Amino acid sequence: MTDASRVDGRSLQRETERIVNEIAQGLRTLDDGVAWFTGLSLAHRQEVLRDVAGYAMQAHITAAGGRAGVTQSGVKPTANPSVMICMDPPRYGFARLPADEHVTAFRVLVSVFTVADTRRRQTYCNGTCGHTWHNLPALTKEP
Ligand SMILES: [Zn+2]
């Protein structure tokens, strides 16, 4: 791997984190995120799917949260990514899904993360946490 591609990987991670959290916090629509996602190369889409699955895991999704996320995502409950996320425990091999299921996987993962993260922001964080991703610049009030 060259230096340039490593730098590229890091900036993709930062972009993924920002976009996914903006969606979770209602600053960006899911469709807008999907438009960004579909513009990426195959390798980058797989990387994003791994990253977002990691966020979902860290947000401690529940089976109920998985189902609520699938409903919000607009993806059919019988689609592979929906079935995987609703398993107990969820199956996380989304990056290994066929390329034509990457968009539905992205929709499901971001929606499930949104459900879990919204619950966490409203309970545990309660507007006073130090999570950088819960304190995005767009949410900061002007003095
Ligand atoms: Zn927080």
Q: Is the pLDDT of residue 6 over 80?
A: no
Give residue 142 CA to ligand 1 midpoint distance, Å.
20
Average pLDDT over residues 45-66: 92
Q: Is the pLDDT of residue 1 over 60?
A: no
Average pLDDT over residues 58-74: 92
Give residue 3 CA to ligand 1 midpoint distance, Å.
33
Instruction: Scan for tokens 């966490």, then name that residue.
Output: 120
In tens, the pLDDT along 10-52 reads: 899 999 999 999 999 999 999 999 999 999 999 999 999 999 9
Q: Is the pLDDT of residue 134 over 50?
A: yes
Query: What gap in Å lies between CA 97 and CA 81, rounded to an integer?
Result: 8
What pLDDT is stored for residue 38 in this prediction? 97
Average pLDDT over residues 54-59: 90
Give residue 110 CA to ligand 1 midpoint distance, Å.
17
Query: What gap in Å lies between CA 61 and CA 119, rounded to an integer?
Result: 10
In tens, the pLDDT along 78-131 reads: 999 999 999 988 888 999 999 999 999 999 999 999 999 999 898 888 878 988
What pLDDT is stored for residue 2 in this prediction? 46
Give residue 135 CA to ligand 1 midpoint distance, Å.
8
Query: What gap in Å lies between CA 7 and CA 23, rounded to an integer?
Result: 24
Residue (of 116, 3, 141, 6) closest to 52 by Cα position: 116
Give residue 133 CA to ligand 1 midpoint distance, Å.
7
DSSP string for residues in 74-100: T--TTSHHHHHHTSSSPP--GGGS-GG
Q: Which two tokens stand for residue 115?
A: 């459900």
Give residue 140 CA to ligand 1 midpoint distance, Å.
14
